[in-house]
C-alpha cells in the first residue's frame, strides 16, 4: 500500500537557485563551512569546468577531517578520471556507485531503476534539493558545449526538513552497504553490515526559533513505500487549482491520470501553461512526448517549447502559492522506476519568484505550440513519434506498468 504524502511542516528558510551558476557557489560555500559531515547524491557527477569546483570542495572538506560521503548513479555518471580517483581516495572521500551497469548495459529491465535524486546535506544544518546535476551549465556529456545555459533549479533549505533529507540519504547508504556485503559474504555479511551501520545520533543543532517560516515537505519516490507519492502530490495540487497551473518539465510523458488532471483543470477554467523540451536530446523522451500534445491543446492547455538550450527543470507553480522543485520528470522513468526527491512548498514569496522566472522563459524563450501547427506536423515526425511510443509501451509492459497509459 502506498505511503501517504508527507504533511507540510513550518519553520523553513528557502532560497531558489537557478542553474549551476547559482547552485554551485552555494554548494561550495556550504561544504567549505562543514565541520562534521557532507552527504551528496547526484545522478551525474562530471569533472568539467565549474563542476570541478564542487569536487575540489569535497576534497578540501575530507582533508580537514570532515566525513564526506558521495553516491553517484552507475549509468548517469561515467568512470571517474584516474587522477581524481587517486586524489579523492587519498583525501578520504567515501565514494559509492549506485547500481553499476553490467555487461549488457541498460538492456536488462533490472538496470532501469536508477538513482536520479539530487540531494546534499551539510552538518544537518543546510540541505539542497533540486534537478541540477554536478554538471556545468554550458557543458553536456553527449552533446558537448551548449549555446546557452540549461534551464534548471534547486532549493537551499534550512529547518526541520534538513534532518529528513539526511535520514533519507542515510537509509540509501545503509542499503547499499548491505547489498555490497550480501554479494561478498551472503546473508550473515549483510546483517553484520546493517548492524554496523545503524544511524548515528543526530548532529547537534541550534534551538529552533519562534519564526513561522515557509511550509515545506520532502516527497520521495522509490520502489518500496513511496512508489506514487510525487505523482500524487502533483495530481492533488492540480485538482485543487483555482486559477493557474504552470509546469516546466524536461521529459514530459504523463500517464493517463496526470493527463486527465491537466485536461480537467483547463476545462474548469484554470489557466494551464506547460514549458517543455524544445531541443532534441534523447530519442525516446523527445518523440514519445509529442503525441500527447493533441488532447492537451484541444482542452485549452498552453504548450511552449524551450529551445535556447536544454530544458532540465522539474518544477511547478500552482495558484501562485504552491510550488515544487526537484529531480522528478513527469514521465514513466521518474514516476515509476527511478529514485526521486522533490520539495513541495507552500510559500507565496518563493512561489512568486519561481513563477516570474517561468513566465519570463515562456514569453521570451519559449515557442508556442499552436493546435493547427501541431496537426500539420510532417509524416516522418508522426512515424518517429509512433515508434517511440510503441517502444515505451513495450518497456512499461515488461516492467508490469501497463496501467500507466
Longest dimension (CA), the chain: 64
Helix pair angle (229-240, 256-267), 10° resolution: 10
Using the 8-state DSSP alphabet, how is residue 369 labeled?
A: -
Determine whether 123 is an active site residue: yes
Cα–Cα distance between 62 and 90 in angstroms, integer? Answer: 9
Catalytic residue among 136, 314, 331, 347: 314
Catalytic residue among 116, 137, 152, 331: 116
Helix (H) or strand (E) holding 361: helix 348-365
Cα–Cα distance between 238 and 179 in angstroms, integer? Answer: 39
Helix (H) or strand (E) holding 285: helix 283-289
End-to-end CA distance of the chain: 21
Determine whether 12 is an active site residue: no
Count of C-beta atoms within a 10 Å radius of residue 398: 11
Determine whether 401 is an active site residue: no
Catalytic residue among 12, 226, 312, 347: 312
Count of C-beta atoms within a 10 Å radius of residue 102: 12
Catalytic residue among 46, 319, 331, 347: 319
Phi, psi angles (nearest 5°) of residue 126? -145, 145
Closest-CA residue to 205 (of 163, 248, 260): 163
390: burial class by Cβ within 10 Å (0-12, 13-18, 19+)?
A: exposed
Determine whether 139 is an active site residue: no
Q: Helical H runs in 215-254? A: 229-240
Cα–Cα distance between 82 and 97 in angstroms, integer? Answer: 16
Residue indicated by cell numbers 522513468: 333
Cα–Cα distance between 39 and 124 in angstroms, integer? Answer: 9
Count of C-beta atoms within a 10 Å radius of residue 195: 9
Catalytic residue among 123, 137, 140, 152: 123
Using the 8-state DSSP alphabet, how is residue 115 labeled?
A: B
Catalytic residue among 118, 137, 152, 331: 118
What SS3 class is residue 112? helix
Q: Can you read off the three cell numbers belonging to residue 200?
A: 548515528
**Residues marked as catalytic:** 116, 118, 123, 312, 314, 319
Amino acid at each position: 500500500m502506498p505511503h501517504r504524502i508527507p504533511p507540510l511542516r513550518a519553520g523553513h528558510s528557502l532560497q531558489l537557485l537557478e542553474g549551476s551558476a547559482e547552485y554551485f557557489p552555494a554548494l561550495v560555500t556550504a561544504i567549505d563551512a562543514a565541520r562534521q559531515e557532507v552527504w551528496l547524491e547526484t545522478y551525474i557527477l562530471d569533472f568539467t569546468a565549474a563542476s570541478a569546483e564542487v569536487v575540489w570542495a569535497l576534497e578540501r572538506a575530507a582533508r580537514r577531517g570532515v566525513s564526506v560521503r558521495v553516491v553517484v548513479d552507475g549509468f548517469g555518471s561515467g568512470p571517474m578520471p584516474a587522477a581524481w580517483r587517486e586524489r579523492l581516495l587519498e583525501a578520504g572521500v567515501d565514494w559509492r556507485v549506485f547500481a553499476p551497469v553490467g555487461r549488457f548495459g541498460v538492456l536488462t529491465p533490472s538496470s532501469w531503476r536508477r538513482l536520479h535524486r539530487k540531494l546534499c546535506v551539510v552538518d544537518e544544518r543546510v540541505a539542497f534539493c533540486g534537478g541540477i546535476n554536478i554538471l556545468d551549465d554550458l557543458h553536456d556529456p553527449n552533446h558537448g558545449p551548449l549555446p546557452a545555459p540549461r534551464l534548471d533549479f534547486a532549493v537551499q533549505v534550512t529547518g526541520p526538513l534538513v534532518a529528513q533529507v539526511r535520514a533519507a540519504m542515510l537509509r540509501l547508504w545503509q542499503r547499499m552497504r548491505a547489498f555490497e556485503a550480501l554479494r561478498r559474504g551472503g546473508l550473515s555479511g549483510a546483517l553484520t553490515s546493517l548492524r554496523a551501520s545503524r544511524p548515528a545520533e543526530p548532529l547537534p543543532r541550534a534551538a529552533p526559533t519562534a519564526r513561522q517560516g515557509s511550509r515545506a515537505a520532502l516527497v520521495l519516490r522509490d520502489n518500496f513505500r513511496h512508489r506514487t507519492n510525487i505523482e500524487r502530490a502533483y495530481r492533488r495540487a492540480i485538482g485543487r487549482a483555482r486559477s493557474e497551473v504552470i509546469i516546466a518539465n524536461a521529459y514530459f510523458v504523463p500517464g493517463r491520470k496526470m493527463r486527465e488532471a491537466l485536461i480537467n483543470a483547463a476545462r474548469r477554467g484554470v489557466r494551464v501553461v506547460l514549458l517543455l523540451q524544445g531541443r532534441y536530446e534523447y530519442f525516446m523522451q523527445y518523440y514519445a512526448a509529442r503525441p500527447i500534445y493533441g488532447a492537451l491543446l484541444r482542452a485549452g492547455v498552453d504548450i511552449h517549447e524551450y529551445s535556447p538550450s536544454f530544458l532540465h527543470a522539474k518544477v511547478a507553480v500552482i495558484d501562485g502559492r504552491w510550488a515544487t522543485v526537484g529531480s522528478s520528470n513527469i514521465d514513466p522513468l521518474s514516476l515509476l522506476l527511478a529514485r526521486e526527491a522533490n520539495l513541495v512548498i507552500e510559500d507565496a514569496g518563493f512561489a512568486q519568484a519561481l513563477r516570474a522566472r517561468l513566465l519570463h522563459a515562456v514569453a521570451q524563450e519559449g515557442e508556442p505550440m499552436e493546435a493547427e501547427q501541431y496537426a500539420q506536423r510532417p509524416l516522418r515526425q508522426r512515424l518517429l513519434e509512433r515508434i517511440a511510443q510503441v517502444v515505451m509501451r513495450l518497456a512499461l509492459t515488461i516492467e508490469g506498468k501497463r496501467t500507466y497509459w
